[in-house]
Amino acid sequence: MSNVNWELISSNVNINNGKITIIEKALDTLAKDIEKTIIENGGYCPCSRYRTNDTKCHCKEFRELLIGECNCGLYRKRIDHLEKNNDS
């Protein structure tokens, strides 16, 4: 999904390695259609033929993903590095 605006959904800070995992949701017309389909599917990913706990949105594949987009492109994960405080 190119040229898409993204909305912050959640972030998880890992102080030990200085990283923030950020989950964002796409904000465009296609994303709205995908969300509608997920609701119509009872919360299951529209990209899967199966309805299991593993395909319930956020699907297992996305939950286990370190960085990148989910199959349908509605959500993405990215990593930011915490800035070190250099107060002298």
How does pLDDT run across 2-41, given as a tens digit for each residue? 577 877 777 777 766 777 788 888 888 889 999 999 999 9
**Residues 24, 22: Cα–Cα separation, whole Å:** 6
Res 62 pLDDT > 60: yes
Query: Is the overall model pTM greater than 0.85, yes or no?
Result: no
Q: Are strands 75-81 and 5-14 parallel, antiparallel or unpaired?
A: unpaired
Output the pLDDT for position 33: 93
Output the pLDDT for position 1: 46
Output the pLDDT for position 40: 95
